[in-house]
Structures are given as C-alpha cells and as structure tokens.
Amino acid sequence: MEILLLTLIALVLLPNLFVAGMHDVPNSIAIPTRTRALTPRIATRLAAGANALGVLMTIPLGVHLFSWFEFPQMDPQMILGVVLSALVSLLGWNLYTYFRGMPTSTTHALLAALIGGALASMMLDGTDSTAVLHLPWAAPLATLLLSPLVAFGLAYLLVFLAVRVARGADPDTVNETSRTVQAVCAGLTSLGTGLQQGQRFSFVLLLSLPAAGVSDAASWMPAAYVVFALLIGLGCLTGGWRIGHMLGHRLVTMDPMRGMVSTTTTSALLFAGSLAMALPLSTSLTAASSVIGAGSNQRFATVNWPQAVRLFAYWAVTPLVVGGASAVLVLAISPLLEF
C-alpha cells in the first residue's frame, strides 16, 4: 500500500511542479514586460533559466527553508495520505487561482494543506493531538499577515527616494536605467523563487520517501532536483500571462521608475526574508504588495482598489480553502489506509 501511495504522490507532484512554475513566474516578469524592460520572449526564457538554476542550487547552498516545520509522528500510511491530499488540494487551488488571474501563495497553500491534513489525522489514527496543535503556526501566519504590509510600505517609501535621486535628470535616461534594473531584478527574483520552490517540494519528498520505506531518502534528492528544475522551468516558459496581465495591467498603472522600485523591493525582501532568515515568505504576496505600494505613491489614482480588495480576499481564504480541502480528502481516503 505504501508503494502505491508513493506512486500516486509522484504522479500528482509532477503537474504540481509545472503549475508552480506557471503560477509563480509572473511575480518576476509581469512588471518588466509591462514597462518594456524585457520582451515577453526574453522574459520567459530568463525566468525559466533562473528558476531552474535556483532549484539546482538548493543542495550546494544548503538552504533549509522548512527546517522549522516538524511534522508530527503518525502512521506511515497516514503520512502518505496527508501528503497526497495536500498535493491534490494544492494543485486544484493553484489551477483555479491561475485561471482567475490571482497571484496567491503556493508556499502558504502547501503549509495549510499539510496542517489541515494533520488535523484530520487526529480523528483517525490516534495521532498525538499535542504534536499537531503545537505545529509552528506562528511563522507562516506572521509572514502571511506582515509580508504584504512590509512590501507595500517599503515600496511606497522607496518611491520618494527614487524620485529625489531622479529629480532633474533626463526622463529618457531615468527610464532606461529603470528598465535595466528591472531586468536584473527579474533574474534575481526568479533565482530566489527557484531556490524556494526546490526546498518546498523537496520537503514533500523527504516526508514521503521514509514513510514509504525508502532507505536513505536523501540520496534520491539530486535526481529529484533535476526533475524539479525541468518541470518548473517548462512551467515558467508559459509566461503565466493570466496572472501577469492582472499584475501588470489590471491592478496598477505603472511607469518604469515605479516598476523598478517594485521589482527591487520584491527581490530584496525575497532574499532577505525567505532565504537569509529562512521564513516562508511568499513571492506572490510580496510582488503584488510591492506593485500596489509603488503604484499608489503618485499624484493621480493608479491603483484599481476593487481589484486589490478582491486579491486580498483570495489571500485570506487560501489557507482556509486548501487546508479544509486537504482535511476532507484525508477523511475521504481513510477507509483505504491500513493503520
């Protein structure tokens, strides 16, 4: 039974990788393409290559984004059931939000799905309720609530600095410099996203392989990272334009200088918070909040606030929907599990 569940996990993981690349790539390329810093073809190829490189760099850099998340002890088949349910829920929500054009957080959705499945397991196999209830809720909840505020505030303030530095300069020179910085930041954000995605899905595998009885699970990871990089890169090549159109066109009216501020803020916070401090910082939440923060610091109305409020609502319900769906799936498949 464990091998069957592991096979199902692998089959669901593969489309998750592709959709994750498609879902997250607009965070780095939507604004650079909107302000003509990069052409769509160059932007998607740059993002695909940088994301794939970021995934492959995960092992030599030794970054452990989810090292703080200690999954509770439970029956091996239940662990596999929880992981399978989490991946199915994540895939369904990412596809739904992509076609709705909503840049929601894959990281927070995955964490919520695992926690929701773990809560459901308490009702089934006698999993220690203390271990489940003491899961590290604070870190993902804090980043979910605070990272958009920090990104918005930092981008808003940096516009003042950018305007002061550019005062008196030739507008064409300012725009050219802004577009160059945006192109660099697009590559950096994509690299950081790849690093985060590699850790996100390796965490799932490192939960699943030992539960299925696979010895020395770590030895499988180099080959797994190659598959991760390939599928995530292919997803990035699609451009994710449904979400990209919302970020670049429907949310804010953006000029090159403010586009530079938003992309710089996103890449800086991604590396500082997510990688240096090992916090589950969402690229989607950070990028969208940076866009709104930079775009709102203008003398005329540029932010489509009804669209922004709709986006905030999707962010708020993501953990509830995905965690609830995962819990329901765990309960649904429990008759098939032997524990």
Among 320, 240, 247, 254, which Cα is nearest to 288's?
247
Domain membership of residue 180 (yes or no) is yes
Give the distance from CA 255 to its chain's centroid.
Answer: 26
Residues 6+ away with beta carbon under 8 Å from 180: 37
Does the pLDDT of residue 244 top 90, yes or no? yes
Domain membership of residue 131 (yes or no) is yes
77 neighbors 1 (Cβ within 8 angstroms): yes
Domain membership of residue 9 (yes or no) is yes
Among 327, 330, 316, which Cα is nearest to 108's?
316
Does the pLDDT of residue 145 top 80, yes or no? no
Domain membership of residue 154 (yes or no) is yes
Domain membership of residue 12 (yes or no) is yes
Name the percent of the chain lying above pLDDT 70. 88
pLDDT score at 290 = 95
26-39, pLDDT tens digit by residue?
999 999 999 999 99
Q: What is the chain's length?
A: 339
User: C-alpha distances in angstroms, 255 versus 89, 210, 262, 282, 321?
Assistant: 37, 51, 11, 24, 35
What the block records as the tokens of 15 is 């489309």
Q: Record the pTM.
A: 0.91
In which residue are the tokens 């590559």 written? 187
Question: Which whole number is the average pLDDT over 289-299?
Answer: 90
pLDDT score at 74 = 80
Domain membership of residue 338 (yes or no) is no
Total domains in the chain come to 1
pLDDT score at 2 = 83
Question: Which whole number is the average pLDDT over 166-179?
Answer: 91
pLDDT score at 88 = 97
Domain membership of residue 144 (yes or no) is yes
Does the pLDDT of residue 218 top 90, yes or no? no
- Any idea which of 47-51, 68-72, 86-90, 237-241 has the lowest mean pLDDT? 68-72
Does the pLDDT of residue 57 top 90, yes or no? no
Structural domain of residue 48, as residue ranges? 2-330
Domain membership of residue 339 (yes or no) is no
Q: For residue 133, what pLDDT band results from cuts at 50, 70 and 90? A: low
- Write down the mean pLDDT value for the chain: 88
The rounded distance, in Å, linking the Cα atoms of 8 and 87 is 10
- Give the other-Cβ count within 10 Å of 128's Cβ: 13
